[in-house]
Amino acid sequence: MDAESTAQAEGRIHDPVAALSPTARRLVAAARRLLAREGFEALTVEAVAAEAGAYRDAVRYHFGSKAAFIATVVDSLAHDQSLDGALRTRDLPAGGERVRALAEADLRLAEDLGSFRDFFTILPHALRDDELRERVARLYDWYRALYADALDAGAPGQAAELAAYAHLMAAMTDGLAVQKLLDPERVDLTALYGLWARMLEGSLDRPAAAGRGRRAAAEAEGGT
């Protein structure tokens, strides 16, 4: 996808990390290194600033609060892959081809076990911190909006149904990543996402097929 079409597609959905400054991005990268190396407890604002080579209060200056900063770290774990997958599939014809491409993008996301390991390290803390929990919940809104936008075939009255599919797609990726982390030898992500794509394609096609049937019946009745 070229830069212009990417910008247009991003404009439909608020991107939570698009406006980060170079220093803010450096702080996020430093936090990810600390998280992978030493765990969540290492993510003090002072330690992150030192790791990034920034001044002591840089995290508060660029993010306002530690919860806002940690939420941005969470987003960074899947942001680029999620956005790229959604934007690429959005250009494909609606229907099976787009669904399969979106499932393949989610497969690549679920295969990034290091990022998911870091996410699941943060998650218990998010569940106990109201501000962080709310911020991570809003990130899920953004991810689900990407899914819904990618699946949107332009038919009227689809919003509620697409939102439901988006919830399921987010749950699918999180759940399969957990299982793969726990049992990497026996969980076949490729086969599972292939099955998931077929299930989605069949489910999404049923209303369209029903509509085609109703139109054909109306045309046949009008011709008699």
Question: Does some domain include residue 112?
Answer: yes
Average pLDDT (43-63) is 94
Q: Could you give the number of structural domains in the chain?
A: 1
Tokens of 173: 């990726």
Question: Does some domain include residue 216?
Answer: yes
- What pLDDT, on a 0 to 100 scale, did the predictor assign at position 14? 53
Question: Does some domain include residue 187?
Answer: yes
CATH number of the domain residue 196 falls in: 1.10.357
Contacts (Cβ under 8 Å, ≥6 apart) of 19: none
Q: Which of 97, 101, 121 is nearest to 205 (CA)?
A: 97
Residues 149-189 pLDDT 10s? 888 877 777 889 999 999 999 999 999 999 999 999 999 99
Question: Does some domain include residue 82?
Answer: yes
Q: How confident is the model at residue 52 (pLDDT cuts 50, 70, 90)?
A: very high
66 and 129 in contact (C-beta within 8 Å)? no
The domain of 105 spans 67-223
pLDDT at 86 over 80: no
Question: Does some domain include residue 1?
Answer: no
Q: How confident is the model at residue 134 (pLDDT cuts 50, 70, 90)?
A: very high
Question: Does some domain include residue 137?
Answer: yes
Question: Does some domain include residue 42?
Answer: no
Question: Does some domain include residue 209?
Answer: yes
